[in-house]
Structure 1
């Protein structure tokens, strides 16, 4: 029986995916349950939503009265222009990569499972920062129970493998299988790489059937190329595993190839930087607001202040697609590098 989901439900579902923290996610789940059509075709989905509401409510309630919060935080609130999760098997050099890219103090050791909890860090790219989250390793016999919650806010994933390890193909297959068991799909479809493609349409169809499945655009990072692996090893890895993720070869030890990662993530996530100015004053060129391609002046106003959207009259814009100081409406699409001057009622 078809679900025939209503526009209000789809709006709530979209808000759930865009939620920045657990409280926002819980509010969206309650809206989804309130607006979902109640008939036999949605019984399984209703049950899934109720289960998620119960789980999130318990997580937000914290320990029982009198107990202390002693455990690590497993969900990192999204920060910077985007949140990217670092995934990989034990000893792939994931934490070393995190340290090199962000300057974090992630634990590094020549033994498996040195990472026990999410470790956030900021990768600087030009005048913005990308939030990289170092996560515990995944293997055929090890998978943290809280991984799904930790990946919910992520915009993308970086799958790190030791390309010099003869068993790296087995590691990739195990990781994909363990994630798929928990409704996490790593995909080669990036926002800048063809959302209009047939494959992207298939992802949207799959997401509509299972709104709680997480789809993460993924970059394959072949680490430890300083150990002189065969140049064809990445190609062989992709052929044997069937993955089609874009790939970069790097060395966290020597720094080789690391400079390319920030630009790739920035471009493929369709990040747009918008600078603001007050009337009669110069633009604040050191503090861009970050959005995604297709965002509007109204979206910029919401980022500047949550109350601005309701009182925005128009804006003046400077950029490649407008003449200097052109008056534009709230729905005007902004582009990377635009300067916007907001005018309120």
Structure 2
């Protein structure tokens, strides 16, 4: 039976898919449940929304209780230019990579399943940071109930593999299988824009299906001879068409390429703000995505400013020096914006 979803529900769903803040996502889930038409055609979707509300609420409740007892949080609020999930099979070297890239001091061990809870750290690139979340390994024998909930707030993923591992092919197939059962697809498509990863669904599409842009990191490259041939064989056998970087946490090979690669393929745009009559603050840029606008900059500064904004002046690639622009003017990397309310 057709769902015949209402405009109010579609607006709530679009807002849910656009936001990355876990608490805001929970509120939009509740709004989706409130506005969804109640008939037989939506029964399955209603049940799915209710289950996700219950899961998210329990995660927040567990995080609150855990904080009171010194326990770790399972819900990571996105920070920095983007949130990137580190995923992979056991013993691929995710935690070592996380420690090298972020200086987090994460616990690293030569045995599987060292990581048990999300570990956040910041990867610097020029004057911005990417938030890297080290997650438990993905394996059928070690299910992690909250893993997919954590992935929902990620902008992209780094899939860490050890091509020298004899069971690498089976491990990757297992990772794909586990994620597919949770409606998560690793995709080679990096849109490099401010649009939602999942796009705008039709009525008959799954609003909770997640397509996560993914870069594969072939770790422990110092041990690999014939790397290109190994990667080609892996692509043919798994069907994966993901972009790949060869890296080594032992020698540092390739680690310096990760930040620039993410910056370019995510379409990160840095915008610097200034007050009238004062120089620009060049130390802490606001980060957006290609295609976002002056109105989006104002919302990042303050919601009230977004509502009261009259116009802005722009210096940089997107306009001539001091050009007066409106809310819908698209900003470019390096622009200086002077907001007038």
1:187-207 deviation per Cα after TM superposition (whole angstroms, max 9, x unaligned): 1111139x9xxxx99975589
1:219: Cα distance to partner?
0.6
In the alignment, is the contact (CA less than 8 A) between 1:74 and 1:149 conserved in 2? Answer: no
1:98-146 deviation per Cα after TM superposition (whole angstroms, max 9, x unaligned): 1111111111121111111111111111110000011111123112111
- 2:131 is the alignment partner of 1:128: no
Partner Cα distance (1:334, 1:21) in 2: 23
Q: 1:101-180 maps to which residues of 2 (within 5 A)? A: 101-180=101-180
**Match for residue 229 of structure 1?**
225
1:57: Cα distance to partner?
2.9
C-alpha spacing 1:233/1:203, structure 2 compared with 1 (3 Å): farther
Structure 2: give runs of 5+ residues left out of the alignment.
none
Structure 1: give runs of 5+ residues left out of the alignment.
none
Partner Cα distance (1:128, 1:272) in 2: 10
1:282: Cα distance to partner?
0.8
In the alignment, is the contact (CA less than 8 A) between 1:188 and 1:245 conserved in 2? Answer: yes
Equivalent position SS for 1:209: coil
In the alignment, is the contact (CA less than 8 A) between 1:314 and 1:330 conserved in 2? Answer: yes
Partner Cα distance (1:45, 1:338) in 2: 43
**Match for residue 214 of structure 1?**
210
**Match for residue 4 of structure 1?**
4
Partner Cα distance (1:87, 1:59) in 2: 20
**Match for residue 297 of structure 1?**
294
Equivalent position SS for 1:122: strand
Question: What is the aligned counterpart of 2:242 among 242, 245, 252?
Answer: 245
1:6: Cα distance to partner?
2.8
1:255: Cα distance to partner?
0.5
1:255-311 deviation per Cα after TM superposition (whole angstroms, max 9, x unaligned): 111111111111111111111000011111111100111111111011111211111
1:71: Cα distance to partner?
3.9
1:254: Cα distance to partner?
0.4
| TM-score, with structure 2 as normaliser | 0.93
C-alpha spacing 1:282/1:296, structure 2 compared with 1 (3 Å): same
- 2:22 is the alignment partner of 1:26: no
In the alignment, is the contact (CA less than 8 A) between 1:123 and 1:129 conserved in 2? Answer: yes
1:208: Cα distance to partner?
6.3
1:7: Cα distance to partner?
2.9
Partner Cα distance (1:21, 1:201) in 2: 15
Q: Provide the alpha-carbon RMSD of the alignment.
A: 2.3
- Larger mean CA deviation between 44-53 and 113-122 belongs to 44-53
**Match for residue 277 of structure 1?**
274
**Match for residue 287 of structure 1?**
284
In the alignment, is the contact (CA less than 8 A) between 1:84 and 1:155 conserved in 2? Answer: yes
1:97: Cα distance to partner?
0.8
**Match for residue 257 of structure 1?**
254
1:19-58 deviation per Cα after TM superposition (whole angstroms, max 9, x unaligned): 3433212210111112222332222111211222233333
Partner Cα distance (1:285, 1:63) in 2: 36
Partner Cα distance (2:173, 2:74) in 1: 25
Partner Cα distance (2:319, 2:200) in 1: 33
**Match for residue 74 of structure 2?**
74
1:251: Cα distance to partner?
0.7
1:67-124 deviation per Cα after TM superposition (whole angstroms, max 9, x unaligned): 9645421121101000000001111111111111111111112111111111111111
1:144-185 deviation per Cα after TM superposition (whole angstroms, max 9, x unaligned): 111011111100000000011121111110001011111222
In the alignment, is the contact (CA less than 8 A) between 1:207 and 1:213 conserved in 2? Answer: no
Partner Cα distance (2:163, 2:265) in 1: 23
Equivalent position SS for 1:317: strand
In the alignment, is the contact (CA less than 8 A) between 2:197 and 2:211 conserved in 1? Answer: no
Equivalent position SS for 1:42: helix
**Match for residue 51 of structure 1?**
51
In the alignment, is the contact (CA less than 8 A) between 1:137 and 1:143 conserved in 2? Answer: no
| TM-score, with structure 1 as normaliser | 0.92
Question: What is the aligned counterpart of 2:307 among 304, 307, 310?
Answer: 310
Partner Cα distance (1:192, 1:19) in 2: 17
1:238: Cα distance to partner?
1.1
